[in-house]
Every structure is written in C-alpha cells, then in structure tokens.
Amino acid sequence: MAESKPKYVLSYFNIKALAEPIRFLLAYGNIDFEDRRISREDWPKIKATMPNAQMPVLQIGSKTTFQHLAICRYLGKQFGLAGSNDWEAFEIDMAADTISDLRTKSAIVFYEPNESIKETKYVQLLSEVIPTILKNLEEMAAANKGHMALGKMTWADFLLAGLIEYLNLLCRQDLIANCPNLKAAVNSVTSLPAIKAWNAKAPKPDM
Ligand SMILES: N[C@@H](CCC(=O)N[C@@H](CS)C(=O)NCC(=O)O)C(=O)O
C-alpha cells in the first residue's frame, strides 16, 4: 500500500453481523476509522456503487476492499494475528471457514421467506447441522486452549467474537452457553481494553 497513513472508511448497515469482526480488528489495531452506517432507506440508492452490490466494504485510502473474511485476514496480518508461517495461517483459515459455514448454513434458513418452509428447515438445522459444527468448533477451541487456532489469540477469535450475537440470532440459541472453550475464545477478545472501549462507544445497532 503506497499511502503512508490511509483513511479507513467501513460501510455497512447499522447492525453488527459481518462488520463487527472488522470493527473489532480496527479497534484492536488502533485504527481511527469512519464507521459509515447505511440506512435501509438509503441502501437501494447506494447498492449499485458497492462491489457485488453488497457490504461490508472497507475503503483503505484509494483501495476499495470487500468480502468480510478476506478483510479480517488482511487486518489480522497487519496486526500480528495471522500466524507466522503458511501452516499457521492455514489453521486459522480452517477455523474461520468453519465459523463461516455455521453462518452461511443458518443464514439460508433464517432468511427463508416462506414461513412454513423456514420452520421445516429449522428442524434439520437445529437437530443436525448446528450440533455437528458446534461440536467441531468446541473441540478446536479445546485443543487450542480457549482460542480458535494456534493456542493463542488470532483473527479467528475476533471473527467468532464479532459474529457471535448474529450467529446466536440465526441459530436461535446461545451457542457458547455450553461450550466453555468457545466462550473463552469470545471472552479473550471482548475483555481486551480496546474492544471494551469500542463496545462502550459503539452506536446502538438496529438488530
Ligand atoms: N460474501 C460477502 C457477503 C456480504 C453480504 O452478504 N452482505 C449482505 C449483508 S450481511 C448485504 O449486503 N445485503 C444487502 C443486499 O444484498 O442487498 C462477505 O462475506 O462479505
């Protein structure tokens, strides 16, 4: 990146969801970013200007970046949260992709417009899909001493901590209530002074 001190602008709706891990990472990295929250009324006018017509979008100086996982991975590298070799980066990616699986599989059901189809799909989601992924995630966190990878804090912990409220909503449960190691991973991030300060000043989200 050529610019020495680029301006950061994060565009998203006034919700936590996919942007909160990015906000957490920017707060952790002590990056003074513009937290641009687009209203649902303004979104149709802005949609066509965004890559893939979706958000989150993070402007870094003259660069327009998108895809929340790629952004988290990049910021993780910038802030020393991405491991120190290809194998370590791979272990973090496996954890991040598993968290992402939980989100995509539950979001498809949550956003199903037909109420009766939705409830039918929730039966399988709640009885099979979520328990399988959650068990795997908890085992990964147990093997990594209360973190998602490498036995220490990485950007995958930030991903989980930033997404957890949204995941709980999509999955209709407190996912970490009975998962002490996942709870530890979330707490390791939310107890950081920078994240506490962010949470204290963050605007009240719409959901
Ligand atoms: N693959 C993208 C997905 C982004 C995405 O699904 N964004 C949604 C909000 S969570 C969105 O912009 N929805 C509005 C629309 O599609 O009109 C990512 O991971 O960042």
pLDDT in tens, 162-174: 999 999 999 999 9
Q: Residue 206 domain-assigned?
A: no
Q: Residue 207 domain-assigned?
A: no
**Same-domain pairing of 184 and 97:** yes
Cβ–Cβ < 8 Å for 33, 8: yes
Q: What is the CATH number of the domain that holds 15?
A: 3.40.30.10
Cβ–Cβ < 8 Å for 7, 34: yes
HEC-encoded secondary structure of 90-143: HHHHHHHHHHHHHHHHHHHHHCCCCHHHHHHHHHHHHHHHHHHHHHHHHHHHHH
**Same-domain pairing of 74 and 100:** no
**Same-domain pairing of 61 and 99:** no
- Model confidence pLDDT, tens digit, residues 11-69: 999 999 999 999 999 999 999 999 999 999 999 999 999 999 999 999 999 999 999 99
- Model confidence pLDDT, tens digit, residues 81-139: 999 999 999 999 999 999 999 999 999 999 999 999 999 999 999 999 999 999 999 99
Q: Residue 1 domain-assigned?
A: no
pLDDT at 199: 98
Which protein residues are within 6 Å of ligand 1, measured from CB?
17-18, 47, 54-56, 67-69
Query: How far apart are alpha carbons 178 and 156 in whole angstroms?
Result: 20
Q: Which two structure tokens, joined as six digits, stand for 199?
A: 């949470």
For residue 10, pLDDT over 80 is answered with yes
pLDDT at 5: 87
**Same-domain pairing of 114 and 98:** yes
The H or E element that residue 28 is part of is helix 20-28
**Same-domain pairing of 112 and 69:** no
Cβ–Cβ < 8 Å for 188, 157: yes
**Same-domain pairing of 110 and 67:** no
pLDDT at 3: 65
Q: Residue 2 domain-assigned?
A: no
**Same-domain pairing of 25 and 55:** yes
CA-closest residue to ligand 1 atom 16: 54
Taking the alpha carbons at both ends of the chain, their separation in whole angstroms is 35
Going by C-beta distance under 8 Å and a sequence separation of 6 or more, which residues neighbour residue 88?
A: 82, 149, 150
Does this model's pTM top 0.85?
A: yes
Q: Report the number of distinct structural domains present in the chain.
A: 2
**Same-domain pairing of 42 and 70:** yes
**Same-domain pairing of 73 and 100:** no
Atom of ligand 1 nearest to the CA of 67: 20
For residue 4, pLDDT over 80 is answered with no
For residue 78, pLDDT over 70 is answered with yes
Helix (H, G, I), strand (E, B) or coil at 64: strand
Q: Residue 3 domain-assigned?
A: no
Residue 26 CA, ligand 1 centroid: distance in Å: 20
pLDDT at 1: 52
Q: Which two structure tokens, joined as six digits, stand for 45?
A: 């006018």
**Same-domain pairing of 154 and 97:** yes
pLDDT at 2: 54
Residue 54 CA, ligand 1 centroid: distance in Å: 5
Q: Residue 141 domain-assigned?
A: yes
pLDDT at 102: 98
Q: Which two structure tokens, joined as six digits, stand for 31?
A: 């990056």
**Same-domain pairing of 93 and 186:** yes
Q: What is the CATH number of the domain that holds 177?
A: 1.20.1050.10
CA-closest residue to ligand 1 atom 20: 67
Q: Which domain holds residue 91?
A: 86-190
pLDDT at 31: 98
CA-closest residue to ligand 1 atom 13: 54
- Which residue is it, tokens 């009766």? 116
